[in-house]
Amino acid sequence: MSWSFLLDRATLVASSLIALLTLKYVKAYRTRSKPDAIPTVGPDGILSSYYTIWRYLFHGCELIEEGCRKYPGRAFKIPTLDGWQVVVNGPKLIDDIRRAPEKELSNLEAIEDLLKASYTISPALHNNPYHIEVIRTLLTRNIVPRFDDLRDEIVAAFNDNIPVKDHAVEAVHNIVVRTSNRMLVGLPLCRDPDYCDLNINFTVSVAISSALISLFPEALHPIVGRIFTKREHFFGRAMKHLGPIIEERLKMQQEYGKEWPDKPNDYISWLIDLMEYAAEDWQKGLVEDWVLRVLAVNFAAIHTTSMSFTHALYHLAANPHLAGPLREEVATTVGTKGWSKAAMRHVGAGPVGMVRVTKKDFRLTDGSLVPAGTKVAAASYHVHYDDTYPAPDDFNAARFAKLRDMEGEGVKHQVVTPTLDWVNFGTGKHACPGRFFAVNELKAMLAHVLMKYDVKFKDDAGFPPSMVFAGSISPNQAAKVMFRRRSA
């Protein structure tokens, strides 16, 4: 096969992709109502705005920061491949998002749009997201009763993955998937190598597939959704692991009732407990649905917790002088002073958060009218780096510990408490339902690292640059962290 043929073919593929992207953006530009009265960051012409789109893809934090400086306390808009996105800046406008009901600003539709969940996971998650309430109530309620199990899995997972064989990110994924699944599915499945590999790769697949689908016009999503996703493959693997377990628990519940002897206290049991009986005619459909819910919760747990823990681990490796004071704190009480909040503030998940889709025309308190079908988001990165914080660009591990020590400020500055100036977990009724579990898991893992290991970057490298793409901030994938077990 000649090089010229390969080049011609590559040129054809590239040209086709450019044509599709152009078609997609032009259609989005024309069909979605343009919020003309809201100021724009960068050029806003039908072709010139491509420059701004490129900036957002690779320099999103700088672009959003530019908008926040130019329009303090106001809304502004940026062009994206999906059309216009309105960004709100300041506590008053963030409160507009917090207070708006789902029928006006939809959180579920924004999640569907971001993850393309109907193609990457299942449309059932959007149509009936009952698993969210299970996480919000039963998972949160069982953190204390199950904490010894969580702690046991953290110790075992670190022993099996430290020292790190290659990059720190891979070890973190392995530790997080095991720790999270100790609560979700219990022993011995949470330690099964194929089950852990399945969930890690499913998480990566959803992130990549949703990004690829987003590059194409919406009319082509049903087609490219089948091409770029491996949903059936992952579901089949998950069914082999989870199907027999769920069916056995249904059988036990039918035979002995809801409180059968030695019933596991985990996410699978909580899903089953939502049903008062298990008739054979719909049992098969329920088993498949519950397997999907386990996969979906694994995506959320692995993706967000792994990123947060990796960022915090990098801060610890880059600032070894912090280990001593933090160990003293852990020895007294495991991570209740807010030091993990400082690491999460310093990085976050992206330049914007609390994304919603307007279900109808929506007016903000600054007078801006956002047309129906427009994405609205909060400038979370700017909020966390606001000048109200002393030296906001500096990493200060004790920042929130000092704030919590002030009279009457203790509860406000807990990492799980969503406020208008702390939006990593969102705020209002749509604040992350699993944040209590995630924070306890993060603190327990960090406490274990502090008490058992000294950590530093290989070759004494500094904090590695994060990966920023399309509004997402991810930890550096190539960084190598060295662990040395402490003698005492």
**3-state helix, strand and coil shares in percent for the chain, rounded to the nearest 5:** 60, 10, 30
Least confident piece of the model among 119-123, 168-172, 238-242, 400-404: 400-404
Rg over alpha carbons for the chain, rounded to the nearest Å, is 23
Judge whether 168 and 480 are in contact, CB under 8 Å. Answer: yes
Contact 104, 393 (CB under 8 A): no
Burial (CB count <10 Å: 0-12, 13-18, 19+), residue 82: middle
* Average pLDDT value for residue range 11-24: 54
Give the C-alpha separation, 73 to 94, whole Å.
10
The whole-number pLDDT of residue 118 equals 93
Q: Is the pLDDT of residue 224 over 70?
A: yes
Q: How deeply is 358 buried, as exposed, middle or buried, from its count of CB atoms within 10 A (0-12, 13-18, 19+)?
A: buried
Measured torsion, CA atoms of residues 53, 120, 475, 483, in degrees rounded to the nearest 10: -170
What is the distance between the alpha carbons of residues 279 and 289, in angstroms, rounded to a whole number? 15
Region of 354 please: left (phi>0), alpha (psi -120 to 50) or beta.
Answer: left
On the question of pLDDT at 199 being above 50, the answer is yes
In angstroms, the CA 299 to CA 79 distance is: 28
Q: Are 217 and 23 in contact (CB under 8 A)?
A: yes
Q: Which helix (H) or strand (E) holds 78?
A: strand 75-80
* 407-438 pLDDT tens trace: 554 444 456 666 666 566 677 777 788 888 99
pTM of model > 0.85: no
**pLDDT tier for residue 8 given thresholds of 50, 70 and 90:** very low
Separation CA 227–CA 225 (nearest Å): 5
Q: Give the DSSP letter of residue 42.
A: S
Task: Choose which CATH entry (3.10.450.50, 1.10.10.10, 1.10.630.10, 3.30.2080.10) describes domain 101-349+387-420+424-485.
Answer: 1.10.630.10
What pLDDT does residue 273 have? 86
Per the annotation, does 190 bind a ligand? no
Band the pLDDT of 331: cuts 50, 70, 90.
Answer: confident
What confidence tens digit (pLDDT) does each residue in 268-315 have? 999 988 775 444 444 557 889 999 999 999 999 999 899 999 999 999
Q: At what angle do helices 435-452 and 147-161 cross, to 10 degrees?
A: 50
How high is the pLDDT of residue 282? 47
